[in-house]
Structure 1
Amino acid sequence: MPTQQTVLTGESVEERNKKTIRSVFDVFVNKGDFSIVDKIYSPGMIDHQPLPGATEDLDGVRYTIAGLRAGFPDLHVTIEDMSAHADYVVIHNTWRGTHLGEFLGMAPTGQYIEFKGVVVWRLLDNGLIAERWGIGVESNMLEVLGMRRLAPSARGAARSQARRNDRPGSVLVPLLPGKAERWAAVQAELGAARRPAYEASRRRAGIVRESFARQRVGGQDVVVLQVESRDPALSGRKLRDSAHEFDVWLRDAAAEVFGSDPWAALAEGGAAEQGHLWSSVTSELVAR
């Protein structure tokens, strides 16, 4: 399927789909306007990572947003980065709110929360939302509320401090058929023999955090590349244009498994299984 299609209005399918996903947050989540649900979601929509207690269908979507807005009356979600590829849209967003109402059986604490996540959406040819995959949204929220601890608090605080002035950038790239094992082998090299070169490369590009999250989306293996830096597009250009031996090797390896250079897509402004996350704060490389 081509990456740029045109609808009758003259705008690309990708741009139309971006507008739809933006309305999910601008109208539905942030304003609590439930009348938009039937206008932007397919009746058979599937949410693959629903909130605990919610079903995976459209009723579950309504239940989730209603519960969130009851628990956090000032809930507001900011889309930090958005990219589209054919029928898919991937976003990195920040959720903020104050816990003033009961939420998932937890009494109000008055706690202000802020957490981040990545979401992948698939839309139909008619522009309606068909599927949703959340990467870190639910787990990050529960962690902030103290309902589930995923990492030492001191480490999390250090990361937050170091990334205060950094911005996210993300792109979705499909894995070529039969290349999943090769991609896993590349990541294994990044975590072992090539780790020092990998870390040095990311620091040269000004990246403080990079992750590759692999998921099964719409029957296809895809990888969401996410970076955090002062200027993600600039970091993408540095990696795209670098003649350094390691950077050339990684671009070639990416081209072999994706058929393209994901950092070039990032330069254009462009959790998962078997992935990794690297952070300059802790110099860690952990499996995801």
Structure 2
Amino acid sequence: MDHRGARVSTEENKAIIRRVFDEFVNKGDFSVVDEIYRDDMVDHQPLPGAPDGLAGVKYTIAGLRRGFPDLTVTIEDMSAHADHVVIHNTWRGTHDGEFLGIAPTGRRISSKGIVVWRLQDGLIAERWGIGVDSNMLAQLGIGRSARPGRGRVRTTHVPAVRTLPVLPGRVDQWRRVQQEIGTRAVDYEASRRAAEISRERMWLVPGAPALAVYHLEAPDPGRAAKTLTSSTAPFDQWLRHELVEVHGRDPWQDAAAELGHGWER
């Protein structure tokens, strides 16, 4: 398949991403990589030690399939925005091979997360994976946890992710909001502690439209989302107002219901 120089629809882009999982990841057909990825493809979350480009794509999936020989990925939901495709997926497999230096444990894992893809002329150009790796490592006993104090019980923190298109003309406003968050670190950290959030990241994926990705980790992401959307703290009210102007909605609005569908362990 060669779409270079042709106009590619969002439905065609979605079909390309389905091939990644249906043929490459799930069936181990590595020849698909040479058909649907750009030679200079950038994977922002490869396995450690992966080389650049197509060789790195193959290295990452080969490593996962060695560690989890029965690896299968199910796409739970998919959406497309211009040249970006966003999927919510579940990775399942049995740890019957060495993975990242971890000897086989025989554990059956089920790891949920999100992947954002950017395509260019019908070929995959970039990939961002969020949540899958931390969930998978947690189930192998080396995931991120809340830092325990003396006498505290160690608590597993679960990742959750939202993606929203940025409204036309609002990219600069989104960037200004991120800058102001940095100048209000005390208020920001207090807000996230109140919601029991241990880690949060926000970043912009360029495109037309641009996409903003919001990632948090908490013991109960649904409860954290409700806390953020209902808080009357001045900082939380300010941030909600700004992000509603940027996106047309609060990023964590109605998140609890969505987190119940494949977003939360």
TM-score, length-scaled by structure 1: 0.62
Rate the CA distance shift 1:265–1:139 in 2: closer, same or farther, 3 A: closer
State the partner residue of 2:128: 133
- Give the distance between the partners of 1:265 and 1:21, measured in 2 at CA: 28
Within 5 A, what are the aligned runs for 1:118-197?
118-124=114-120, 126-146=121-141, 148-152=142-146, 155-156=155-156, 170-174=162-166, 176-183=171-178, 185=180, 192=190
Give a deviation string over 1:179-220, Cα, whole Å, max 9, x none.
Answer: 323256579767657998xx7xxxxxxxxx9x9742253499
Rate the CA distance shift 1:136–1:83 in 2: closer, same or farther, 3 A: same
Matching of residue 223 in structure 1 with residue 212 in structure 2: yes
Rate the CA distance shift 1:122–1:170 in 2: closer, same or farther, 3 A: same
* Structure 1, unaligned runs of 5 or more: 1-6, 200-208, 230-234, 271-288
- Give the distance between the partners of 2:128 and 2:98, measured in 1 at CA: 25
- Give the distance between the partners of 1:98 and 1:67, measured in 2 at CA: 14
- Give the distance between the partners of 1:119 and 1:142, measured in 2 at CA: 17
Contact 2:73 2:89 in 1 (8 A): yes
Aligned residue pairs total 230
- Give the distance between the partners of 2:24 and 2:37, measured in 1 at CA: 11
Matching of residue 116 in structure 1 with residue 131 in structure 2: no
Matching of residue 67 in structure 1 with residue 80 in structure 2: no
Question: Quick one: which amino acid aligns to residue 171 of structure 1?
Answer: T
Question: Quick one: which amino acid aligns to residue 97 of structure 1?
Answer: G
SS in 2 for 1:59: helix
Contact 2:90 2:112 in 1 (8 A): yes
Give a deviation string over 1:218-237, Cα, whole Å, max 9, x none.
Answer: 499742257977xxxxx9xx
Rate the CA distance shift 1:143–1:194 in 2: closer, same or farther, 3 A: closer
Following TM superposition, by how much is the alpha carbon of 1:128 offset from its aligned partner in structure 2, in angstroms?
A: 0.4
* Structure 2, unaligned runs of 5 or more: 1-5, 147-152, 259-265
Within 5 A, what are the aligned runs for 1:232-271?
252-256=241-245, 258=246, 260-261=248-249
SS in 1 for 2:202: strand
- Give the distance between the partners of 2:25 and 2:105, measured in 1 at CA: 21
Matching of residue 53 in structure 1 with residue 59 in structure 2: no
Rate the CA distance shift 1:190–1:42 in 2: closer, same or farther, 3 A: same
SS in 1 for 2:155: helix
- Give the distance between the partners of 1:225 and 1:75, measured in 2 at CA: 27
Identity %: 51
Matching of residue 34 in structure 1 with residue 42 in structure 2: no
